[in-house]
Copies of this chain bind each other. A is one copy, B any other.
Amino acid sequence: MTHDTLLWENVLRRAGHRVTRQRGVIIDAVCAGGGHVPLGEVYARARRQDPTLDRSTVYRALRMFTEVDLVVAADTGDGETYYEIKRPQSHHHLVCRRCGCEQEIDDSLLQAMFAQVSRQHGFTVATDHLVLFGQCAACQGESTMPRSAAAH
């Protein structure tokens, strides 16, 4: 099990939210998915446990989970939002625009930049699941063409 049942219940209660059967099913579904799970998959998986579950409930639950830092949401730009159980150490993702592959990068790479932003603008960055687009190592090797020409 990726999450401790008591843990999320307490997080919710402490934040003033109620612990419901639906929310349990939903957070289980996120865990079951492993890494990044698109909402559709969370919904499908949760529906198997509770066939009356509504999509709105999943959306609302996931948004709330994000607010209390139980899960992180990432928009990879393909039209769907992906969810993932929040790990103690936050991380970010690189998404290749060419082949669509994803890889994780460590938060430490960004911390220096965040600190600089804070120094220069007094702004504390709280983005804990950034998605950076670009081109992965493999795709770079094979592409001699300009990006625009290869796109379609």
Q: Which A residues are closer than 8 A to B by beta carbons?
A: 15, 67-68, 75, 94, 96-97, 103, 105, 109-110, 112-114, 116-117, 120-127, 130, 132-137, 140, 147-148, 151
Tell me how far the C-beta of A71 lies from the nearest C-beta in chain B, rounded to whole angstroms.
14
Assess the B109–A136 pair: CB atoms within 8 A: no
Mind listing 21 A-B residue pairs with CB under 8 Å? A68-B148, A75-B75, A94-B121, A96-B123, A105-B120, A105-B121, A109-B113, A109-B116, A110-B113, A113-B113, A114-B132, A117-B132, A122-B137, A123-B132, A123-B136, A125-B132, A125-B134, A126-B135, A127-B132, A130-B130, A130-B132
Tell me how far the C-beta of A40 lies from the nearest C-beta in chain B, rounded to whole angstroms.
19
Q: Which B residues touch A121, using CB under 8 A?
A: 94, 103, 105, 136-137
Beyond A132-B127, A133-B127, whether A15 also contacts B122 by CB under 8 A is: no
Q: Which B residues touch A123, using CB under 8 A?
A: 94, 96, 103, 132, 134-137
Q: Which B residues touch A120, using CB under 8 A?
A: 105, 109
Among B68, B103, B105, B134, contact of A124 (Cβ-Cβ < 8 Å): B134
